[in-house]
Structure 1
Amino acid sequence: MTIHPSFFPRLSLIHGKIDWLVNIHLSCSDAQQSGDIGAFEVAPKLEELHLDGMHPETIIRFPVTNLVSFSDEREFAREKLTPEYLNVVKSAPKLRSFSYHDYSIQNPMSTPPPFPRVMARSLLELSASSPSFLRSLELPSLKEFTLTTAYDADIGEVVIKCPVGALGALHEMLLWSQCSRTQLHLVDAVLDNNLANIIRLIPSSQGFVIDFYEWVDGYDPIMQSLVTQLSNVSLVNGSFQHWMVPNLQKLGVNLFDLYHPRVSFINSAFVDMARTMDGGGTTDLDESATNALKSLRDEGLALDLNPENEDPMFRLYY
């Protein structure tokens, strides 16, 4: 349901009359004005609540007893919602999936005070980018995590990177959670030395994907270091295993909308890493490296390279 904020007061008419309601998908068509919504606070069977385009100051009250899936995408709310949503994560005993994205302000200048850490043993999937929110979570059962601001690149929106401290906050969350099997998907994270440390905390993970809609030259040494570490193998019970993430089955590196960038981490070391994983590599490679990549096609490598396009894209999967 898409609704204009001017109709929010009318929602009060359904208060206490929706005992049967299980799923709510509410989209706001014009978030110029705020207005708290209490129409759904008496909905004992509510399992899914998905919000889109709400005003940053709008708070929606809802029950969490049977809540399984929740998402909220709105403009930056200046941490007003962080304690509210930490309480949802803590109090919802059946919660499996939680997604909270606030966008439009990439890196707020002020640092919010820390919030008390909460634990949620039921949560399996999480998507967020707020450093203060991530630092306050302990999720021992987490299986899938996506770090993103959730802007829509497909409709030409300006790239909104994750906050500068997001990787550090993710590292802290994983350190507390001890969820070694978590699959990671990073979208326009501002890379720093926490990247490799994060990967070390998930040695049993089967999937790691990183997307760049905007490339920064300073990312090259960080990615080169990660490639080197992912290439390391050790002898275990007579066979070689990758030391860093031995169970990794999917590695994705996606570079979109790159206007003639120099991507130095795609080199012979990258090819060596790909070869050890039965998957691999990209641009500015010598003939032997290129042939090595081609030889891996039959072993599961999918390589899409379009260097003549004004909007080239490189995608690596294995």
Structure 2
Amino acid sequence: MQDLVYLYHGASEYILRKEINKLLEELNVDQFNVVKYDLLESNFSDVIEELQTISFFSDQRVVLVSGVLELYKLDEYDQQRFIQYLENPNPDTILIMYSSQINEDNLPITKAINLYAKITKLQEIKKEDLDLIIKKSFEEDGYEIASEAISELIERTNGDYPTIEQEITKLKLYAYDHKAINVQAIRLLVSKNFDVNIFELSSAIVAGDKTKAIQIYYDLLVSNISPVRIVSYLSGRIRELIHTGLLLSRGYSQDMIAKHFQVSDAKAYYMVRDAKAVGVKKLEKYLEQLADLDFDIKSGNIDPRLGVELFLFGVE
């Protein structure tokens, strides 16, 4: 018997939507027969009316509903209407609900969803699984990718899976004839993520490498990143290093710091390295200089581009 009610939950909206698109392909439902509602914006009565509408022009329709947590805020009458629909759904309509979070309290509406819906809990993609996922994505289409290229791709995208997918599509087109991806192709085609550039810029500042710091700064300007935004994010990165230094002084290990900031072990390694390489006092000095620079830029006392250049030339 065809399932008429689905609930997807437990992951980011990107992962949820991707899984729902797979389901729509399996159901062979045309996009013209998919109606979307967000309960944060839509009236519940409109959703119920849509669900109960008989389809005259196609075998089945899909009603896609987000903002599922709003169901638990309905008054008793509307909750009962929804429960009654779940008990006797319209055979012409497939209801697909999705939400990153769901209410697991022992409420009548929760019991009804658990009883009548096909529930799928999805997992976020973990960064430690990205290597295998990327490799498999290329191999499925007959491509080979070097392990160094995979590492470079993850680094340049900061492990952001939606961005990785977009870059994979671009890389496959680039290597369509020879079906091989090396690290040079990644460096040629994949721009570094803004967070990665800021991370490298702060590391160059900590190391006192003015030449590298200036080069990264110019790369950011070419990418249309404003000096004001660079100052703001750089200040945040310096605060992060100060925080890391304080945690180290309290006996935190690299693993503990990775968990504290919810970052990868690789990033935690560089955070610990940079925090150890320069004292808290120097970091606080840089932070104060950046605060003064931010004020001067916003007050019109200095040209933004020149102000950041002078700051970088002054690192020790």
- Tell me: higher relative CO, structure 1 or 2? Use CA pairs within 8 A at least 6 residues apart: 2
Under TM normalisation by the shorter chain, which class is it? Answer: under 0.3
Q: Which has the larger radius of gyration?
A: 2
Question: 1 or 2, which has the higher strand percentage?
Answer: 1
Query: Which of the pair is proportionally richer in helix?
Result: 2
**What's the TM-score once normalised by structure 1's chain length?**
0.27
